Amino acid sequence: MSSFDSEISTEDNNTQIVIEKSDNILNNMSKILNQLISQNKNSLNYKKIIRNQRNSIFSAKDPPLISILDYLNRIKYYSQIENNTLICSLLYIDKLCTSNEIVLTELNIHRILFTAILLSLKYNEDLIYKMDYYSKIAGVSLKELKKLEFEFVSKINFELYINEKDFENYRDYLIKME
């Protein structure tokens, strides 16, 4: 094998490791979000939660037909988002839910998830596409996406900074989760 061949082979192996980590993070994010929704759905006051959140901008009338994992894969494919940005978006969702008594449901998860990813992308990455491109990925109108974004950042008091320890805890959990 020539040195050129070994360089390609090494690069392919490194690429494979990155892809596997990315898939692992997407799968584990999906598992976590699905578990939270399932726990919420099994709570005694789920119907009351749905009623209370019905008028929220984050709530859809019907659950989207796309699974959370497929939605994450779609977002990852079309936005070329980095894993660290995905991890930050999960922290934003946690911040939104804990500080605002928002409960994740099958009616709001897709909108909350995409909005968190969009905010994380804007805050953490250099390559940003136009908002109309993101609205197509999300499956919502541009006007609605702007409202979702404003509502989300307002509810977290425009606090997009994440401390390093929290980030590392989430990252390590997502990578090691079985």
Give the pLDDT confidence of 149-172 residue by residue, as tens digits.
999 999 999 999 999 999 999 999
Contact 127, 82 (CB under 8 A): no
The pLDDT confidence band at residue 145, using thresholds 50, 70 and 90, is very high
- Cα–Cα distances (Å) from 105 to 55, 60, 112, 157, in that order, read 14, 10, 10, 22
* The CATH classification of domain 3-176, taken from the options 3.40.50.150, 3.40.50.2300, 1.10.3720.10, 1.10.472.10: 1.10.472.10
* Helix extents (H) in the chain: 3-41, 46-53, 68-79, 83-100, 109-124, 131-138, 142-155, 164-176
Q: What is the pTM of this model?
A: 0.84
pLDDT in tens, 51-81: 888 888 999 889 999 999 999 999 999 998 9
